[in-house]
Amino acid sequence: MDLEYSRTSWSLGSCMNKEIGDTNILIGLSNTRRFLEACKEAGYTRIAIRVSTKDIPYSVDFCFGPQGSVFAWPNCNKGFWPAIWNIAQSFGCKSCGNGQQYQINDLNVIDGYYFLKDGHWIKHDVNKT
């Protein structure tokens, strides 16, 4: 899966680690691609990783803020639970969630707002809050 770029630069967020350097960034890019592909397969078309965007209103209204969270849209469930919970857990996150939100504090992915367009994920600039 190719990630297309809007007029933005990548916010490397939690992928930055001075001791590990470029290897950690490459792992973050790989994890982001795999994470977004899993979200696409579940039926999500918008994903906000550690940021808020008006395109996913719950990310703006979330009482704890966007830090350490992933927000997904539209509502997609796997059984009785939001699919984003299962996706995050399959990447090793063992935390909790609220609706289409899940805590991903330790997940090595690239922060940002992503949306599907013509089957490809596009990263869009948003201001971190």
Measured torsion, CA atoms of residues 106, 112, 115, 117, in degrees rounded to the nearest 10: -120
Tell me the residue type at 11: S
pLDDT in tens, 1-30: 445 444 333 444 444 444 445 677 888 899
pLDDT in tens, 67-120: 999 999 999 999 899 999 999 999 989 889 999 999 998 889 999 999 999 999
pTM of the model: 0.81
Per-residue CA distances from 7 to 38, 45, 76, 97, 121 (Å) = 25, 20, 29, 31, 14
54 DSSP assignment:
T
